[in-house]
Structure 1
């Protein structure tokens, strides 16, 4: 019997694996939203650089994505990674986005996070046994075409890509999420090993990503100068010892005030922190060789 489903030895019903993955993804989004003080982002203090978002809205948005994450996991469990699965995931992602927009009144709270976490949920459901394997499997899915993707108005990320040549969320996914596996997760775990409080460890992971990422959310509103300032500001916090030191905390608050004044929000970095939190807590279940052999043929 597959791990995460069926009945335990004590007779209690276990949570089905897709539901468990959806729980983990939603929890990662909620924990990213609760984290404070996050520079320019929605957190427990309020909307940050946003005038159309607050913490209750982000929490409701995360919950609205639960069915999509579960259905993504179910699809990846029963279908081999191929164009057919990629197109099915694309449709489920668009369904999840519509559910999100209904709850938020049209505000784009989690489109980028849905893309990143949706791919990673699919990768884990499909049999990835650890975070690097999941990132590689997600990259392969991201690179596959989706014939049914709408060709309407380009997203903010696409506009930024065309104008500045920045890769954006798709590029990050196709590169196997290096800011997650090589930056956020190692920073998170080093901070924990050093005895830092969990909130400080997560803030430092976020800031490390901010100091390196070509965040298209920042580029869209602030251009290259805004992105440069954000990266330098986050780097300064880390150079001062991180969010858990007096000097680092002061630099963090200064960066937050600067971002608020300029209405800049590092949403791409926040999405990757949520992805790191998901992988950090993911319930790994490596697929058996038999299960791989019996995966349904690729649907075209």
Structure 2
């Protein structure tokens, strides 16, 4: 299984496009600067084991797997979409193994593999079924794919940060998000679109979207590093900046200050960073297909 290479032959051209965009989305997120506690092109944030190059290698390694996720969605013909999710899972395990091999065991994108894997498959499925690419339809498709996912948390041995967050605090984490159709990233997507409509640059809009996600996300990355105290601190700080109606220069200044505070407290909102990649992917897919 470790030696599995994702299939490159027989991929639908659309699967290649979706997979390419998903890989690009990881780089868009990684390159965005400043971000609180997160790796950027100019900072390592609260991380001592990774930098922008680690993220670039990871994104490149994951691209063929993103194509395969999309291909599975494009070729799925059943009525029970939970079966589509089941078909993604072994590929997700292989993607994670290849990522860790490429990054020398650094977890750059474990959460993103899950979120983008589900979305690539959902987008592939929706396209071939001629379902309009919209937040509402996407939420509905993801909800059907991930039905019953939170039930797994009751049987878990508490290995991952997300599973430990459930055991200790009752937080359903990424499984709960997926089962509900990713409401956090959908709210971030709304924030992104609104900022662009208001005349802000894409960079500004992405930063606002990230803050929107941090302000509501029960992020297991934050809980792992700072407990519920760290999580609530991050949410409160993000909310304050979001509601301050800042221009781009002021926003960058506030994000820089928040980065200093997050680094001091060893906080990193990695789950919200994964959501940001997904927000960019969905917005691009909407603009291409609508």
TM-score normalized by the length of structure 1: 0.83
Aligned partner of 1:75 in structure 2 is 72
Q: CA deviation at 1:239?
A: 2.4
Aligned partner of 1:91 in structure 2 is 90
- The answer to whether the Cα contact below 8 Å between 1:86 and 1:144 also exists between their aligned partners in 2 is no
2:34 equivalent to 1:30: no
Partners of 2:15 and 2:260 lie apart in 1 by: 40
2:59 equivalent to 1:62: yes
- The answer to whether the Cα contact below 8 Å between 1:40 and 1:263 also exists between their aligned partners in 2 is yes
2:164 equivalent to 1:159: yes
Q: CA deviation at 1:215?
A: 1.1
Q: Taking structure 1 as reference, are residues 269 and 58 closer, same or farther at Cα in structure 2, changes over 3 Å only? A: same
Offset from partner CA, 1:238-273 (integer Å, 9 cap, x none): 222246252x43332221101111211000111111
- The answer to whether the Cα contact below 8 Å between 2:27 and 2:56 also exists between their aligned partners in 1 is yes
- The answer to whether the Cα contact below 8 Å between 1:36 and 1:43 also exists between their aligned partners in 2 is yes
Partners of 2:205 and 2:68 lie apart in 1 by: 32
TM-score normalized by the length of structure 2: 0.86
- Residues 80-89 or 101-110, more deviating: 80-89
Aligned partner of 1:210 in structure 2 is 214
Q: CA deviation at 1:42?
A: 0.4
Partners of 2:203 and 2:82 lie apart in 1 by: 39
Q: Write out aligned runs for 1:218-297 (5 A).
A: 218-242=222-246, 244-246=248-250, 248-282=251-285
Q: Taking structure 1 as reference, are residues 240 and 123 closer, same or farther at Cα in structure 2, changes over 3 Å only? A: same
- The answer to whether the Cα contact below 8 Å between 1:122 and 1:138 also exists between their aligned partners in 2 is no
- Structure with higher Rg: it is 1
Q: CA deviation at 1:110?
A: 0.5
RMSD: 2.3
Q: CA deviation at 1:129?
A: 2.1
Aligned partner of 2:202 in structure 1 is 198
Q: CA deviation at 1:134?
A: 1.8
Aligned partner of 2:17 in structure 1 is 20
Q: CA deviation at 1:186?
A: 1.4
Partners of 2:244 and 2:21 lie apart in 1 by: 33
Aligned partner of 2:41 in structure 1 is 44
- The answer to whether the Cα contact below 8 Å between 2:30 and 2:39 also exists between their aligned partners in 1 is yes
Q: Size of the alignment, in residue pairs?
A: 268
